């Protein structure tokens, strides 16, 4: 494994969730940024390549999948995108997979499960 930590971008408008994810992934050895608005998320991802994007679908300023559309258009897609939502529904899952997400997870996701899934998907790509 490279000595450079993998870059995780937490795209979430809840600051408490952002702070918790930052601590969790930082402690696991990742380099972490957080952002809560679509433009900010896109700015970070286009200026600093992202290995893992943890993308909340319900951002305050729009649908999280808008982020993926903009990142695809700028050829700045992260290696792995995991979508996060508070509602489990087959339509959301289909939309996320069609957009390019590797997984859709329903919040709250147990910490160990989130880290395990994230590491496993990063190892595959």
Domain of residue 85 covers 7-124
pLDDT at 53: 98
pLDDT in tens, 91-108: 989 999 999 999 999 999
pTM: 0.94
- CA 100, 104, 108, 110 torsion-angle sign: negative
Whether 89 maps to a domain, the answer reads: yes
Is the residue at 1 inside a domain?
A: no
Residue at 2 is within a domain: no
Residue 25 has pLDDT above 50, yes or no: yes
Q: 54 in a domain, yes or no?
A: yes
What is the domain count for the chain? 1
pLDDT, tens digit (0-9, with 9 covering 90-100), for 26-76: 999 999 999 999 999 999 999 999 999 999 999 999 999 999 999 999 999
Q: For residue 87, is it within any domain?
A: yes
């Amino acid at each position: 494994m490279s000595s450079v930590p993998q870059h995780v971008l937490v795209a979430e408008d809840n600051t408490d969730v952002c702070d918790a994810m930052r601590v969790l992934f930082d402690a696991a050895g990742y380099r972490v940024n957080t952002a809560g608005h679509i433009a900010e998320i896109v700015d970070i991802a286009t200026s600093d390549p992202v290995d893992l994007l943890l993308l909340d679908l319900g951002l305050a300023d729009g649908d999280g999948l808008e982020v993926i559309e903009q990142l695809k258009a700028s050829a700045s897609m992260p290696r792995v995108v995991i979508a996060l939502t508070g509602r489990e529904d087959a339509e959301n899952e289909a939309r996320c997979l069609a957009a390019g997400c590797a997984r859709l997870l329903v919040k709250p996701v147990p910490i160990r499960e989130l880290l395990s899934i994230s590491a496993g998907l990063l190892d595959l790509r």
